[in-house]
Amino acid sequence: MSITKITITTFLEQAVHFPVLDVRSPGEFNHAHIPGAYSLPLFTDEERKIVGTAYKQQGKQKAIKLGLDFFGVKMRDMVEQVEAIIKARQTSNSTNEHPNRVLVHCWRGGMRSGAVAWLLDLYGFEVYTLVGGYKAFRNWTLNQFENPYDGRIVGGFTGSGKTDILVQLQRLNEPVIDLEGLAHHKGSAFGGIGQLPQPSQEMFENKLAWFLSLYTDRCFWLEDESQRIGVLNIPPAFWKTMRLMPVYFVDIPYENRLQYIMDAYGSLEKEKLVNAIMRIQKRLGPLETKTAIGFLIEGDTRACFSILLQYYDKTYEKSLLKRENIDALLNKISCDSVDSVSNTQNILTCSSVHL
């Protein structure tokens, strides 16, 4: 058998069907990786540091010898890990045309992926390696944000159930990219409560680029967002593209939205709500911040949320109207309540009229 080197485009086409084995250190993988990849580290973080230091101070051959000391005792375990990965995938995947094919990469497509590829090829796997390694994938990722896209934005003031509409669109087999889902954050000051820790900026970009690549020739739906979601930022090039997409704004009465917010966040711990309010105090203003927290402490959650909702309404409207050519992009849809089923249908009806 032989090891085949492939470019990033071919690698990602293959990655849809076959396991991607990332042989970088656990720290590198945990920071960011190709979506769906499996961590199969050649070295631990400490071992990588030792080998790297030896390479710089004592030369390539000394580093290789140290690397072999670390690698040798892991060979059997690495082979068995790959066998387990393939077995698990075959259980859930009926495609068996190339049952032993694996895709391997490291940081730059150098010695680490070469060593693991050699081992897996020797054992009998069909091995493909990525030319340029993870660095090539990062270049590909950043290039995705420069492309034009045919997207449609689900808009609406806070409490309009926009995320619920995205879920309903997915149920109807409409293409959707859930930015808040990718970011593990719901966007507002309260958006991180109860969510998983946010990924690194790099990992967020990797996941977003991966989804965008699926829809290069298809129209897809997005929720209207500010550029910042929690601690993460939508890449500037793609953010600019989003601002040129048509907006389907579900216009829902204030009281209905306030009740929706009450149902979603009203039972959260007061301490977490207070901390969330404090994070926006500079924008909310000292008086409104003090008043909102006072209502919360007194148990008047509705009055507290009413202050916050008015703040978010003003902020969102200001951002909405900053778009270029907003009169042509904005499609307001009057809705009686926060009902994702009927509101989704209203959006689809409106969007089909404007095709």
* pLDDT tens-place string over residues 192-231: 888 899 999 999 999 999 999 999 889 999 999 999 999 9
Better-predicted residue by pLDDT, 67 or 133: 133
What is the pTM for the complete model shown?
0.93
Using the predicted structure, report yes or no on whether residue 191 has a pLDDT greater than 90: no
Which residues are designated catalytic?
106
Strand pairing of 220-223 and 38-39?
unpaired
CA gap 52, 66 in Å, rounded: 10
- Asked if residue 291 lies in contact with residue 307, where contact means CB atoms within 8 angstroms, the answer is yes
Q: Which conformational region is residue 199 in: left (phi greater than 0), alpha (psi within -120 to 50 degrees), or beta?
A: beta
Average pLDDT estimate for 138-151: 97
CA gap 319, 247 in Å, rounded: 12
pLDDT number for residue 98:
87
CATH class label, 149-353: alpha beta
Q: Return the closest-CA partner of residue 316 out of 158, 154, 151, 152.
A: 158
Q: What is the CATH number of domain 4-141?
A: 3.40.250.10
- Give the containing element (helix H, strand E) for 333: strand 330-334
- Asked if residue 18 lies in contact with residue 99, where contact means CB atoms within 8 angstroms, the answer is no
CA gap 354, 153 in Å, rounded: 13
Domain ranges of the chain: 4-141, 149-353
In this predicted model, what pLDDT tens digit does every residue of 172-185 receive, in sequence order?
999 999 999 999 99
Weakest mean pLDDT among 3-7, 52-56, 244-248: 52-56
